[in-house]
Amino acid sequence: MGAVYQQEAHKEYCKHVGKKLILGAIYALLPLALLHSLLFRSIPSQHDDDQDYSIPSSQGLRAFACEPLGVPRRVSLLVLRVACVAKKIEEKGVGLQHCDYSNGDWVASTQGPKYNNTSCKMIRTGQNCLGNGRPDTGYLYWRWQPRECKLNEFDPHLFLKFIEKRHIAFIGDSLARNQLESLLCLLTTVSSPVLKYQYGEDNKFRRWTFDPPYNATISIYWSPFLVKAMDTTQGHNKVYMDSIDKRWASEINTMDMIIFSIGHWFNKPAIFYENGRVLGCHNCGTDNSNHTEVGIFDMMRKVTRAAIDEVSERVYKHREIFVATTTFSPDHFEGAWDKAGACPKVKPYEDGEKEIGYVEREMRRVVVEEVEVAAKVVEEKGRRIRFEILDVMKLASMRPDGHPGHYIHPYVMAKGYKGPFHNDCLHWCLPGPIDAWNEILLELIKRWEHEESLNKGLVRWLD
């Protein structure tokens, strides 16, 4: 059985390498094809009047729906195909500009948000800043603008088209939920999702569907460590590093797109287990002083790698799947959580005005490194798993004005409540800056869709 598997794996690898070599040769031939075509067009043949100038019919050319180029038959079919591929590359917009969406600025905009607390019913009370009486609205009139390219406004029709007959899953902590609810509000502007089920404390597991013609599914899976974890009455979490959270992992092959988002729970007190023994603890406290203090960066790296490996191993061999991991989103607490001025800013930071902290930078580095390694591995194996980094750290760090603050409760100031106030300077108002995360997500999906489309056409042609 093992020998057969190895033979099949070797055969698949050779096929992948062969296709990569052929694709490389094709792109090398593109300028030669153009020159060849021009030279032969300029030298008429004595038999040109009898020539058929259309491209011979073939399955490969039909796959690209290539139009006749009107060149003499003496130009080889291979060169014609190469020219055809070049034409389709240009038409499809494949090879879209690879933009660093993480490097940019918040620029003032006269155009407000695409939804509000009236048009979107998915906004939970804690993020409903407008509905809870936040008096200033200036935080709504900023757009993230990358320095290398243009970031398009969110197109709900296009996003729904991309997830048509697909299942997109958000997996992680409450910021994953925050981003999911932003996405649902953006999509609600053109189509209303139908809640199919919800369970768990605070509805931590929910699923929505969109009616035809989209037939799309969107889910949220609560999994703040991505691996198995348990709350305890002793005030710390028990985290089992070598046991993936099956609540999401068991459904991987129902998912077509995955967005992982973790980080903040690693700052909480926790005991980490591996191979049935205590690996160490974080913020152990006096009750667990006999355990070794472990670095949260190593723990986060382990679970990020475990989740990525789980996807790579469980996804069926020939399935295509998109997996984005969101980088760490810093909070903006200023002083104690119960003080009214915990996050009082009313406009974004300018670039360089506020330095990102060491912990936040390391959290980001862990994710970036693990995703880059995973992307390289699956490419070498010829797998159709797309690993992407949804890098939001910088744009999030520059928006201290976008949090609910003490407007997590309705009209708390108008009711004459004098405090102490509970402030939320971690999650984001809806609408708010987090909507930009989904604009970037759409661009990443768009690029993946274009490249997958071209790849399918080339595979049909080369096969």
**Cα separation, 429 vs 407, whole angstroms:** 9
Encode burial over 227-260: b for 16+ CB neighbours within 10 A, e otherwise.
bbbeeeeeebbbbbbeebbeebbeebeebbbbbb
Please state, in angstroms and as integers, the Cα–Cα distance from residue 370 to each residue in 55, 366, 377, following that order: 47, 6, 11
Residue 47 annotated as catalytic: no
* Set 174, 191, 192, 453: catalytic member: 174
Q: What are phi and psi of 257, to 5 degrees?
A: -140, 135
Residue pair 310/252 in contact (Cβ under 8 Å)? The answer is yes
* Set 173, 245, 391, 424: catalytic member: 424
Cβ atoms < 10 Å from Cβ of 15: 14
Angle in degrees, CA 324, 343, 134, rounded to 5: 95
Q: What are phi and psi of 276, to 5 degrees?
A: 80, 5
Q: List the one residue out of 438, 294, 324 whose CA is nearest residue 387.
A: 324
Please state, in angstroms and as integers, the Cα–Cα distance from residue 132 to each residue in 97, 334, 395, 430, following that order: 41, 21, 25, 11
**Beta strands across the sheet bearing 257-261:** 194-199, 205-209, 217-222, 167-172, 257-261, 321-326, 385-390
**Cα separation, 290 vs 408, whole angstroms:** 39
**Cα separation, 209 vs 198, whole angstroms:** 13
**Cα separation, 82 vs 295, whole angstroms:** 53
Residue 403 annotated as catalytic: no
H-helix segments, 174-277: 174-188, 246-249
Residue 424 annotated as catalytic: yes
* Set 264, 282, 406, 427: catalytic member: 427
Q: What positions carry a catalytic annotation? A: 174, 424, 427
